[in-house]
């Protein structure tokens, strides 16, 4: 998606070679107009698939997923990363290693918000190793719902997650796919 690629070139900062910082429009300050254009693109790509639920993971996925929920006219559920006193008793859970923090989290979703009739689109901001997306796909699988596909804002295609998920037969639609990035040569898209 040209608009997103241009924004990445304009405002993205490469950290340590394999982490892209996009805090000014995606991960900290958020640009709702850009999110709306991204949502429209996912809607176009998944037209006719009957998606009636969007699933994401806290925290960075929530903003884009919520705007996409308006476009798809459906509820948005986010997987939680920490248990609190109001954690639902009955939940689907999976284990995810965080790419940016290096920590391992149990993620969970109440069984009230996913059921076998659901046709689910998973959305997230980044795809790197695919851990987060695989954890969310596992939760959809446990619920008996249908996983229609995954929508990613920025896929770092030089990391294995996207291709691994595609080779599992899962449809992955990434709006910007980075082939290579370095401080010297900048960002090159696929
Ligand atoms: P994965 O589970 O695919 O390895 O990583 C996906 C998650 O890690 C995303 O939810 C995102 O929050 C974070 N992440 C992975 N790579 C990057 C990156 O280059 N920049 C930022 N800001 N977050 C990333």
Q: pLDDT (tens digit, 9 = 90+) per residue, 68-110?
A: 999 999 999 999 997 766 666 789 999 999 888 888 989 999 9
Give every CB contact of residue 57 below 8 A, 6+ residues apart in sequence.
78, 79, 81, 96, 107, 124, 132, 135, 136
Measure 49 CA to ligand 1 centroid, in angstroms: 27
Measure 125 CA to ligand 1 centroid, in angstroms: 7
Residue with CA nearest ligand 1 atom 19: 19
pLDDT score, position 61: 96
Distance in angstroms (rounded) separating the CA atoms of residues 167 and 186 = 29
Measure 128 CA to ligand 1 centroid, in angstroms: 6
183 within 8 A of 6, measured Cβ to Cβ: no
Q: Packing angle between helix 32-45 and helix 2-11, nearest 10 degrees?
A: 140
* Whether the CB of 99 sits within 6 Å of ligand 1: yes
Measure 101 CA to ligand 1 centroid, in angstroms: 9
pLDDT score, position 88: 67
Beta bridge partners of 77: 55
Buried-exposed string 100-128: b where 16+ CB fall within 10 A, e elsewhere: eeeeebebbbeeebbeeebbbbbbbbbbb
Give pLDDT < 50 ranges for the chain: none
CA 49 to chain centre: 18
Q: Determine the residue of 96, 105, 125 to mutate for testing ligand 1's pocket, defined as the one with the most ligand atoms within 8 A of the Cβ atom.
A: 125
154 within 8 A of 8, measured Cβ to Cβ: yes
* Whether the CB of 95 sits within 6 Å of ligand 1: no
Measure 126 CA to ligand 1 centroid, in angstroms: 5
pLDDT score, position 53: 98
pLDDT score, position 102: 85
* Whether the CB of 129 sits within 6 Å of ligand 1: yes
| pTM, to two decimals | 0.96
């Amino acid at each position: 998606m040209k608009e997103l690629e241009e924004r990445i070139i304009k405002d993205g900062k490469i950290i340590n070679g394999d982490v892209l910082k996009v805090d000014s429009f995606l991960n900290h300050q958020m640009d709702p107009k850009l999110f709306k254009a991204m949502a429209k693109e996912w809607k176009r790509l998944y037209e006719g698939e009957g998606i009636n639920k969007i699933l994401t993971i806290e925290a960075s996925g929530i903003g884009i997923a919520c705007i996409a929920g308006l476009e798809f006219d459906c509820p948005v559920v986010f997987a939680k990363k920490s248990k609190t006193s109001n954690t639902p008793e009955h939940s689907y859970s999976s284990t995810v290693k965080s790419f940016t923090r290096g920590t391992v989290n149990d993620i969970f979703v109440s069984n009230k918000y996913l059921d076998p009739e659901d046709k689910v689109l998973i959305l997230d901001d980044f795809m790197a190793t695919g851990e987060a997306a695989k954890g969310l796909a596992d939760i959809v699988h446990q619920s008996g719902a249908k996983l229609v596909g995954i929508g990613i804002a920025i896929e770092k295609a030089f990391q294995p997650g996207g291709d691994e998920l595609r080779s599992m037969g899962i449809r992955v639609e990434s709006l910007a796919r980075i082939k290579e990035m370095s401080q010297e040569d900048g960002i090159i898209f696929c």
